[in-house]
């Protein structure tokens, strides 16, 4: 039987507010345990929550960016469960009336663009953290994270492969950083996702029984966890069994998922409106003022890069994956006399490669946009070849100066003097009688050998086009 995977994601996005959603305590990451949890966060008796306006503004900003319905009236609800890192015994969330209603996000897939439905996005508070390492036989509790504002973005079950799910997740990651509502740090848990996975026979309308995968804190793991889970479910069904609806934990070391708990139903949480918080009411001015703060969104920027610079959809997508990267590209493209496609290739290729290798963000690149533009100018005006440019770039990366300094200091200027190139070619030809023989007898491949020898003799500095032309002329003479 052919099986179709069905995936829906719930993404938790920590909002970049300075203080918590219902208290004035700081949200900064990395403080000593329990130093940033005030009376409200640790749930001392008699305290009252006060809604953080900035958190509401960020949620609305998100809703507008995904073309969603903004609910002018939303309600906070208590989600009751017991866990040591949840001192109140309930989490303040939104249930029946979330701040953001239905919206959508367009992603690029192998079969073109696809619209992924967004069911809702609601405001809620984060819980504290349970620490298991370093506490042998015991659990440590750090409440610094308790009360950090989150939006939980719930998608429709619209994705059909692990790859599609990751594409959606990455696009969402890009979007929240463009909006400046989240730092996107997955290591620190600022952006995390649960994946709901089921499979069904191709052609069947009804959804299969799903499992929910937790604890996946990188794009790579999300893809692997979902792939593993799809295979696991297909195996069960093909053996005549049935999938149990449950929450499963992904184990990155073993590359597998395992049961954590049976899936709770909404009624298990005994949701009810929080009596300490009035409904959140937004007026038109608030929504319109927030709309004014929207930047150019990733999809719009991508489309603009395609039309304005003539770049492919794929290249534009990569260049607009982060706002800072897009800005870097536009700065370099504006500063160079070389062509835009070369700029794009350098950024997507060499520059990104160097950044990835050293785990750096574009803002931490030792080679700035203007410096890259100067390097590309030198390729454009034939001072150096594209190949030598890589050597120059490496030196720039390691702080050896600008392109011109390095080209001069290392004597990397391209040889364009025809007679100089001719002299080298003649030398090569005199000691290559055998290869000339082969070439004349029709083995065209040998041409590459001559080019290689000339390049070797000039340490890669001979202008490649001239070498080709002159060689061609002399060999065919």
Nearest to 398 by CA among 362, 360, 354: 354
* Position 402 contacts ligand ADP (CB under 6 A): no
CB atoms within 10 A of CB 349: 11
CA distance 344 to 240: 52
Q: Does 176 bind ligand ADP (CB under 6 A)?
A: no
By the rule CB under 6 A, 248 interacts with ligand ADP: no
Q: Is 227 in the site for ligand ADP (CB under 6 A)?
A: no
* Cβ closest to ligand ADP, residue 269 vs residue 447: 269
Closest to ligand ADP by CB, 9 vs 333, is 9
> With respect to ligand ADP, which residue has the nearer C-beta, 191 or 346?
191
Radius of gyration of the chain (CA): 29
Q: Which residues between 255 and 294 bind ligand ADP (CB under 6 A)?
A: 266
Nearer to ligand ADP by C-beta: 42 or 197?
Answer: 197
Q: Let me know how many helices (H) and strands (E) the chain has, helices first.
A: 16, 15
157 or 252: CB nearest ligand ADP: 157
Q: Is 100 in the site for ligand ADP (CB under 6 A)?
A: no
Q: Does residue 198 interact with ligand ADP by CB under 6 A?
A: yes
Which residue has the closest beta carbon to ligand ADP? Answer: 8
Per rule CB under 6 A, is residue 161 in the interface with ligand ADP?
A: no
Among 4, 10, 339, 377, binds ligand ADP (CB under 6 A): 10
Q: Report in angstroms how near the CB of residue 316 gets to ligand ADP at its nearest.
A: 28
- Provide the phi-psi class of 70: left if phi over 0, else alpha when psi is between -120 and 50, else beta: beta
Joined together, the tokens standing for residue 452 give: 């290689």
Return the range that interacts with ligand ADP (CB under 6 A); candidates 8-16, 135-143, 228-236, 422-430.
8-16
Query: Per DSSP, which regions of 87-148 are E strands?
Result: 90-94, 103-109, 112-125, 129-131, 140-142
| Residue placing its CB nearer to ligand ADP in the complex, 9 or 107 | 9
Tell me the β-bridge partners of 10.
Answer: 154, 194
Q: Does 156 bind ligand ADP (CB under 6 A)?
A: yes
Judged by CB under 6 A, does residue 244 bind ligand ADP? no
| 12 touches 193 (CB < 8 A) | yes
Q: Rank residues 34 and 209 by Cβ distance to ligand ADP and give the closer one.
A: 209
Measured from the CB of residue 18, what is the shortest distance to ligand ADP in angstroms? 30
Q: Is 328 helix (H, G, I), strand (E, B) or coil?
A: helix
Q: Is the Cβ–Cβ distance between 172 and 122 less than 8 Å?
A: no
- Judged by CB, which is closer to ligand ADP: 94, or 383? 94
Choose between 9 and 462: whose C-beta lies nearer to ligand ADP: 9
Smallest distance, ligand ADP to C-beta of residue 159, A: 9
Which one of 59, 77, 154, 348 is in contact with ligand ADP (CB under 6 A)?
A: 154
Sequential DSSP letters for 183-200: ---TTTTSEEEEEEEEEE
Please check whether residue 190 is in contact with residue 182, taking contact to mean a CB–CB distance below 8 angstroms: yes
Establish if 301 lies at the interface with ligand ADP (CB under 6 A): no
User: Which range in 6-14, 138-146, 220-228, 378-386 contacts ligand ADP by CB under 6 A?
Assistant: 6-14
Q: Which is nearer to ligand ADP, 4 or 404 (CB)?
A: 4
| Interaction of residue 101 with ligand ADP, rule CB under 6 A | no
193 binds ligand ADP (CB under 6 A): no
CB closer to ligand ADP out of 121 and 343? 121
Instruction: Name the residue with tokens 């490669």.
Output: 353
Position 8 contacts ligand ADP (CB under 6 A): yes
Inter-residue contact 369 to 335 (CB < 8 Å): yes
CA terminus-to-terminus distance, the chain: 66
- 3-state SS class at 277: coil
How far is 10 from 390, CA to CA, in rounded Å? Answer: 43
Draw the binding track, 203-222, toward ligand ADP (x: CB under 6 A; -: no contact): ----xx-x------------
Residue from 91, 167, 196, 247 binding ligand ADP (CB under 6 A): 196
Q: How far is CA 186 from CA 215, 218, 246, in A?
A: 11, 6, 24
Whether 148 and 128 have beta carbons less than 8 Å apart is answered as no
CB-neighbour burial class of residue 175 (10 A; exposed 0-12, middle 13-18, buried 19+) = buried
Q: How far apart are CA 195 and CA 218, in angstroms?
A: 12
Which residues would be at the binding site for ligand ADP (CB under 6 A)?
A: 6-10, 154-157, 196-198, 207-208, 210, 266
């Amino acid at each position: 039987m052919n099986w179709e995977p069905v995936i829906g994601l719930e993404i938790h996005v920590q909002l970049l507010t300075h203080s918590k959603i219902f208290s004035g305590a700081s949200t900064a990451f990395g403080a000593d345990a329990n130093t940033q949890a005030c009376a409200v966060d640790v749930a001392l008796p008699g305290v009252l929550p006060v809604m953080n306006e900035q958190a509401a503004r960020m949620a609305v900003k998100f809703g507008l960016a995904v073309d969603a319905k903004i609910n002018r009236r939303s309600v906070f609800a208590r989600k009751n469960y017991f866990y040591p890192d949840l001192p109140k015994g309930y989490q303040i969330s939104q249930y029946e009336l979330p701040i953001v209603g239905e919206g959508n996000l367009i992603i690029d897939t192998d079969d073109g663009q696809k619209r992924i439905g967004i069911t809702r996005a609601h405001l809620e508070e984060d819980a504290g953290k349970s620490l298991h390492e370093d506490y042998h036989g015991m659990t440590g509790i750090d409440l610094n994270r308790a009360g950090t504002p989150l939006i939980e973005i719930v998608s429709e079950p619209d994705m059909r492969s692990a790859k599609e799910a990751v594409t959606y997740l990455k696009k969402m990651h890009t979007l929240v950083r463009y909006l400046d509502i989240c730092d996107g740090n997955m290591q620190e848990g600022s952006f995390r996702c649960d994946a709901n996975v089921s499979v069904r026979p191709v052609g069947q309308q009804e959804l299969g029984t799903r499992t929910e995968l937790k604890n996946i804190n990188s794009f790579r793991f999300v893809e692997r966890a979902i792939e593993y889970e799809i295979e696991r479910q297909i195996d069960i069904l093909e053996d005549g069994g049935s999938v149990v609806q449950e929450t499963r934990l992904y184990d990155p070391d073993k590359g597998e998922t395992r049961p954590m708990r049976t899936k709770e139903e909404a009624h298990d949480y005994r949701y009810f409106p929080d009596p300490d918080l009035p409904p959140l009411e937004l007026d038109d001015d608030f929504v319109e003022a927030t709309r004014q703060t929207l930047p150019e969104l990733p999809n719009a920027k991508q489309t603009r890069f395609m039309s304005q610079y003539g770049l492919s959809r794929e290249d534009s997508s990569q260049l607009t994956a982060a706002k800072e990267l897009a800005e870097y590209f536009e700065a370099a493209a504006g500063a160079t006399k070389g062509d835009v496609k070369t700029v794009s290739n350098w950024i997507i290729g060499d520059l990104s490669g160097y950044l990835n290798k050293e785990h750096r963000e574009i803002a931490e690149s030792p080679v700035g946009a203007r410096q890259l533009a100067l390097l590309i100018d030198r390729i454009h005006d034939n001072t150096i070849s594209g190949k030598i440019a890589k050597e120059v770039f490496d030196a720039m990366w390691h702080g050896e100066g600008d392109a011109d300094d390095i080209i001069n200091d290392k004597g990397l200027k391209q040889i364009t003097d025809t007679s100089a190139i001719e002299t080298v070619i003649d030398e090569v030809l005199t000691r290559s009688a055998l290869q000339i023989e082969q070439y004349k007898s029709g083995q065209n491949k040998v041409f590459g050998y001559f080019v290689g020898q000339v390049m070797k003799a000039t340490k890669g500095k001979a202008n490649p086009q001239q070498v080709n032309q002159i060689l061609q002329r002399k060999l065919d003479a």
